[in-house]
Structure 1
Amino acid sequence: MVLRPPGLGVLTGRRLAVWGDPIDHSISPRVHAAAYRVLGLDWEYGRERVDEASFAARLAALGERWRGLSLTMPLKGVAFAAAETRDRSAELTGAVNTLLLEPGGPRGFNTDVGGIVRALAEEGVAAAARARIVGAGATATSALVALWSIGAREVEVVARRTEAVTPLRGLGERLGVTVTAAGFDAPRLDPVDLTVATLPGGATVTDAAAAALAASGGPLLDVVYGHWPTVLSQAWERAGATAWTGAGMLLHQAVLQVRVFTQGDPAAVLPAEDDVVAAMRSALVGD
């Protein structure tokens, strides 16, 4: 199969990679390779340790053999700054996790937002009026935009430092979402339709705090994948509630990246996309 998507005829590069620090744990090469096999593309997707200080020089040194990059922590902010153009999700969040390396300069995308939305939809969650985000780090911004896109207009952010919620409150004002802050020691949490946890794997949460969140949180999407089960997912299980791993988000943000790398548009459906997704899902779980 040969793809000749509109507007990408000038791109001849076949090299791709995921950059970040640390990066040894990343399974993106395996997942992306599965997609390109189905699509009949002889592309190379690698994995390289790159930190913020070296990012600009490494990016500038890439030659015409390179087609694009996936970016993980801590590079989403510097990738945003490096992009000549950005999609709406990137502009709203200030984060880029995908760079398409075009002759006129890199185009930046944030597929984490769509990855969250698609993962929730796959679990039957297409709407939520009131939601909660646990954690106020970089991923929380993508979670807020994703929740807004499925109809949430009230979002509570639970954070260790409530002042860390200030940027999210500002983004909420731009979106028309009322963002409130709560600490992990909040004596009472009002019920919400859905919780998205954005804490890193291994984050410390007391059993009491986890139980309070589970009791009022609706179903849980925990973006963690490799450190499962998490303290929060175990609390949801004890409460008899539903908790989903971050595997769905990881899969679907990667599908959107493949769309970008092959067609220049995260909204452009792939040829035989069902087969591509099935192969990527199998690679994700190691089958």
Structure 2
Amino acid sequence: MHHTSLLFGLLATTVAALPGSNIHRPGRPRPQAPKSETLCPIVFDGRPDSSLEPLDFDDWNTSPFNPDYVKGAGLPWSDILKFPTVNPPARFDDPTYQKPFEVTINDSSIFNNQRGFRRAGLQFQGDTNRGSPGSSGIKTIHFSIKWDAQRPLNLSHEYLNVWHETADYSANQFNFQAGAILGQNSLARDTWKVLNRQNRQVWSTPILRNEWQNFAISLDFVKNTLRVYYSRGEEPLRSVTNALTNNNAGEGQYQVGILRKPTGTSDVVNSGYHQRNLNEGLIYGSVFVEDSEGGCVSL
């Protein structure tokens, strides 16, 4: 097994594994190695331990995420999250120690009386709105996604799936999205899209139905740039954009999950159409944020 680290603006080079990954835990046997190990210090690790039960995600002491946000009133994460068996595992998951999870939404997925949205968004424990270690230096968020044919997204709607929202809630530094982007009819619906702070698409790829799709987005909070990485299945990530100019100011927090926007309204937060008996979900694996100082990116 070999590992590659990409240096921004320089030639690719190999770096030694750094502390921060919990893929291998000393003193425990590892009968099956992950496809790829992380190389860079882990800032936030959203890969659930395989031993966790649904109720553990309602408890600050056991969940890797904030158990209180962002979800419908009265809905615990133990009811929102599913834990499907997925083979093969996602690229940076060791199935001995980690498992994928599925974020689901239904008719009751209404947060803070925002009746136009149906949403369930996970926030990493420790990712504070201000002063977060995830909003300084150079950070890369990794995530793999798999389509659930039993709970498919309705791509006639706009979805936010992974994003970083500013501390004052006025903007997102980036959006990872799917479906019909409101006001941008020229964009294909059946694609995963990365949009910058100005809500302009900077990259997209078709949504696949039968395999993992792996993504990483690097945010340089010093130079104000954004860079996207992508691969399919077991393939190593590769850079699919340059370091693009992007306004990363405003601190804030990451969210991972589903935010479904309505149709038929100009007030998307508070009103609009969703079909009844909603049952949608998206499977995630290999979710973590790493420190990319010096150009370190796990590929």
Task: Name the structure with the higher helix share.
Answer: 1
Normalising to structure 1: TM-score of the pair?
Answer: 0.28
Could you say which structure has the higher strand fraction?
2
Q: Which structure is higher in RCO with an 8 Å CA cutoff and minimum separation 6?
A: 2
* TM-score, with length taken from structure 2: 0.27
